[in-house]
Amino acid sequence: MITNDFDPLNSSDNFDSEIVNSAKKREIRNILKSYVGIFDSFSELIQNSLDAVDKRKKVETDLEKKLWLEVNLQDNSFTISDNGIGFQQKEFEAFLAPNISFKDGSGTRGNKGVGATYIAYGFNKLTLGTKNADFNYIGQINNGRKWVEDKEGIVTRPVVTSFGQIPDLFKKTEQGTFFKIEYGGDFTRPKNLSYFSANNAEQWIYLLLLKTPLGGIYFDDSTDQTKFNLKVIDSSGSVTEIDNESALYIYPHSKIKASANIKEIARIQKQLLDKGKDPSKLPAKYERLNGVYENYSSEELKALPTNRLEEKHHLLIDEYSIEAYGYFGYSTQLWDEFNDNLAKLRKGYRVLKGGLLIANNNMLQGDYIAIPLTSNIGYQNQAHVVVHLKNADPDLGRKGFQPEIKELCEILSVGIVNKLKHWKNKLRNDTGAKPVITTQINLHNWIKEQENHEQSFPLDLSNPNFFKPINEISISSVPQSEQDVVVLFNQLIAGGVIRGLKLLATSQYATYDGIFKFYIKEPRENHIFDKVTNPLGVQDLGLPIDTVSNPMVLEYKFNLNALFQEFENEDKFEKDVNLAIAWELGDVWKRNYDVTSLLDLDNLHHRQFHGITHIIHSKTSNFNLIVLKELIEYLNDVDGVQDFHTKKYGEDIFE
């Protein structure tokens, strides 16, 4: 019988220590399960240091807030030191325990008291230190993760032991904190820092600014910025460093040249209108842009072009002082160019890409969320949206936000895309060619680059049956742009390589690139296949001589991925296109289409008109392709490319 009042939170004090130990393990294990991101360990340490320097700044207003970070691929470790407030002894002894936090939750990046537990028990070696006028200590905790995952009771519960050496990074400041995680071991993530395929400071700075709280989300020109130094030691011991950088997020427009703020464009248009001039005649710097962007205040968010914003959403916008940023690029290739050639990270990683990111108290929270467009769905991959809240309450760990907040952010992201897409007429056309996102090179360098390209990538098509009397093509190097594709295609027609069509018109301004007609005329043998003299001919001339088709729509692209993106965006429609001409086919077709290669001699009977190289099929339509790269390779060696076309496009109907 219970005769006295009791506190259920203290009831475990009288239990057997083994029971309490098991309960603690379960509690910590549940915390660790909420941390699934590959950058979570970096993020927790960085956010704690940022909060620490902010806290000290409130007391010492002249403080220059500073972090020192070290990524060491030799000993597989990440270290961070700061000149923040430091710990008091009681705080230091308790902060690693579950659900213990000394943050007030108002404006701090974390406050649930689980991040430090994850750092201590999610890995097997953590060195930590603190120093200020009241308390100095350096300690180490080992085998935290091994103990948590130990089901047999073999691993002793770890304790923090004193560590005699003062790490070099901790000598940088008279006050602050220090943490070093050494990775490796079962259940840890990442196990090895080589996972990121980044070996120098120039690469790691993009990872840390775009994937962790180091990239602070701010929409004003605040001068109170935290600075940081970054040192990276690669696996061979080589050192690269970047000093005194600002802890700010890398917004796309800050790195992608030819990006314009739509507020600025609108302001210039108003000035032109006020002067009685045509507002559509903008300065050249606002035409053929890589992207457009805009920042949005709370009031501007309420006015976004979407019919889904209700009064309850307006209340949430005010409650969390929501602001946002949106960037709309002309092509998803911008993200590849940014990743591969600016950040120089693993190809295809897309450290920056289209989608929605949600931030709280100046810190990104969670991963990309798809922007839920119901039309022009391809735009969800071209638009980069960041929605920022103040003092919202994310889920445990680094997972995300409550459903009503997530829903609101998704609605706002759709409204932002709806607004930005109205300016797409100011963007360059997506031809599939590689974007230029850095400052334009000067004419001399451009000429030299083309000379080098000609030597490195010569275009060879020598055949006694074409281009008489010299029997070789005039264009000397592999195409690099849509314009090169147009030139090469016209040469192939003029040289008699492609004989089955005539061009009627081309346009830079209409929705589609040109108009053409298929035709068949004497001599008949010009259209009939011969493996040596006419390898692009038809097997049987199923149509009579002097057949001329109705006018049809023609599209040029460097890479056909760009055309499929336009179909997804509903800028163009596959049912309207009869022929597409490109240098390369790309790989986006695999999502929704099948391709029949007419360069596979087994499919020769499908070719109706001279020169067609492929037919692309969807569930509702099909159209013809001329893929120039594969056409050239085929003409140079018909038999040699058969295995390639069979394997790439063939379909084995038997198991």
**67 against 519, higher pLDDT:** 67
Residue 309 has pLDDT above 60, yes or no: yes
Q: What is the pLDDT of residues 26-40, one digit of tens each?
A: 888 888 888 888 999
Per-residue pLDDT, 495: 84
In a domain, 50, yes or no: yes
Task: Give the residue ranges of DSSP H helices in 61-216.
Answer: 89-94, 115-121, 144-149, 201-211
Q: What is the pLDDT of residues 203-235, one digit of tens each?
A: 999 999 999 999 999 987 666 889 999 999 999
Residues 487 and 355 in one domain: no
Q: What percentage of the chain reaches a pLDDT higher than 70? A: 85
Q: Give the confidence band of 7 by pLDDT, cuts at 50, 70, 90.
A: very low
**If you average pLDDT over every residue of the chain, what do you get?**
86
Per-residue pLDDT, 446: 44
Helix (H) / strand (E) containing 298: helix 298-302
- Residue in the structure block whose two tokens are 């179909």: 567
Q: Where are the beta strands (DSSP E) in 472-525?
A: 501-506, 514-520
Residues 480 and 594 in one domain: yes
In a domain, 477, yes or no: yes
Best mean pLDDT range from 143-147, 467-471, 501-505: 143-147
Q: What is the C-alpha separation between 108 and 105, in angstroms, rounded?
A: 5
Angle between helices 311-319 and 403-420 (to 10 degrees): 100
Per-residue pLDDT, 13: 54
Q: What is the C-alpha separation between 562 and 585, in angstroms, rounded?
A: 10
Q: What is the pLDDT of residues 534-585, one digit of tens each?
A: 999 998 777 778 888 888 889 999 999 999 988 988 888 898 899 999 999 9
Annotate 569-627 with DSSP letters as a single string: HTSS-GGG-SEEEEEE--SGGGGT-EEEETTSGGGGGG--STT--EEEE-SS-EEEEEE
Q: Give the confidence band of 462 by pLDDT, cuts at 50, 70, 90.
A: low
The last residue of one of the domains, among 426, 450, 467, is 426
Q: What is the pLDDT of residues 82-123, one digit of tens each?
A: 999 999 898 888 888 776 565 555 556 654 557 788 888 899
In a domain, 433, yes or no: no
Residues 276 and 222 in one domain: no
Residue 23 has pLDDT above 80, yes or no: no
Per-residue pLDDT, 437: 63
**599 against 15, higher pLDDT:** 599
Residues 237 and 263 in one domain: no
Q: What is the pLDDT of residues 357-379, one digit of tens each?
A: 999 999 999 899 999 999 888 89
Q: Where are the beta strands (DSSP E) in 298-354?
A: 323-329
Per-residue pLDDT, 105: 54
Q: Give the confidence band of 404 by pLDDT, cuts at 50, 70, 90.
A: very high
What does the DSSP 8-state code read for residue 391?
Answer: S
Asked whether the beta carbons of 633 and 611 are under 8 A apart, the reply is no
In a domain, 442, yes or no: no
Residue 461 has pLDDT above 70, yes or no: no
Q: Give the confidence band of 307 by pLDDT, cuts at 50, 70, 90.
A: confident
Q: What is the C-alpha separation between 626 and 607, in angstroms, rounded?
A: 12
Asked whether the beta carbons of 395 and 111 are under 8 A apart, the reply is no
In a domain, 51, yes or no: yes
Residues 120 and 195 in one domain: yes
Asked whether the beta carbons of 351 and 205 are under 8 A apart, the reply is no
The last residue of one of the domains, among 229, 249, 269, is 249
Structure token pair of residue 260: 């314009």
Pairing of strands 239-246, 323-329: unpaired
Residues 201 and 333 in one domain: no
Pairing of strands 383-389, 355-360: parallel
- Per the structure, the complete domain to which residue 36 belongs is given by 15-249
**458 against 347, higher pLDDT:** 347
Structure token pair of residue 153: 């009771």
Per-residue pLDDT, 447: 45
Residues 244 and 260 in one domain: no
Helix (H) / strand (E) containing 272: helix 262-274
Per-residue pLDDT, 166: 85
Q: Give the confidence band of 505 by pLDDT, cuts at 50, 70, 90.
A: confident
Q: What percentage of the chain reaches a pLDDT higher than 90? A: 54
**443 against 166, higher pLDDT:** 166
Q: What is the pLDDT of residues 642-651, one digit of tens each?
A: 999 989 987 6
Residues 492 and 583 in one domain: yes
Q: Minimum mean pLDDT among 51-55, 518-522, 556-560, 636-640: which range? A: 518-522
- Span 13-23, mean pLDDT? 62
The number of residues in the chain equals: 655
- Residue in the structure block whose two tokens are 């074409």: 466
Asked whether the beta carbons of 225 and 247 are under 8 A apart, the reply is yes
Tell me which amino acid residue 504 is.
L
Report the candidate in 65, 51, 32 with the shortest Cα–Cα distance to residue 102. 51
**Cβ neighbour number for residue 164 with a 10 Å cutoff:** 6
Per-residue pLDDT, 6: 40
Residue 489 has pLDDT above 50, yes or no: yes
Residues 84 and 194 in one domain: yes
Per-residue pLDDT, 3: 54
- Residue in the structure block whose two tokens are 């309450």: 393
The last residue of one of the domains, among 249, 283, 298, is 249
Residues 84 and 188 in one domain: yes
Q: What is the C-alpha separation between 60 and 63, in angstroms, rounded?
A: 6
First to last CA, the chain: 72
Return the CATH number at 52: 3.30.565.10
In a domain, 446, yes or no: no
Cα-flanking dihedrals φ and ψ of residue 142, to 5°? -120, 150
Residue 145 has pLDDT above 80, yes or no: yes
Residues 506 and 611 in one domain: yes
Per-residue pLDDT, 469: 47
In a domain, 262, yes or no: yes
Q: Minimum mean pLDDT among 85-99, 250-264, 596-610: which range? A: 85-99
Per-residue pLDDT, 399: 57
State the total domains in the chain: 3
SS3 track for 169-224: HHHHCCCEEEEEEECCCCCCCCCCHHHHCCCCHHHHHHHHHHHCCCCECCCCCCCC
**29 against 599, higher pLDDT:** 599
Report the candidate in 180, 179, 62, 103 with the shortest Cα–Cα distance to residue 361. 103
Residues 19 and 129 in one domain: yes
Q: What is the largest CA-CA distance in the chain?
A: 112
Q: What is the C-alpha separation between 241 and 232, in angstroms, rounded?
A: 6
In a domain, 584, yes or no: yes
3-state class percentages of the chain: helix first, strand second, coil last, to nearest 5: 35, 20, 45
Q: Give the confidence band of 74 by pLDDT, cuts at 50, 70, 90.
A: very high
Per-residue pLDDT, 655: 40
Q: What is the C-alpha separation between 610 and 581, in angstroms, rounded?
A: 14
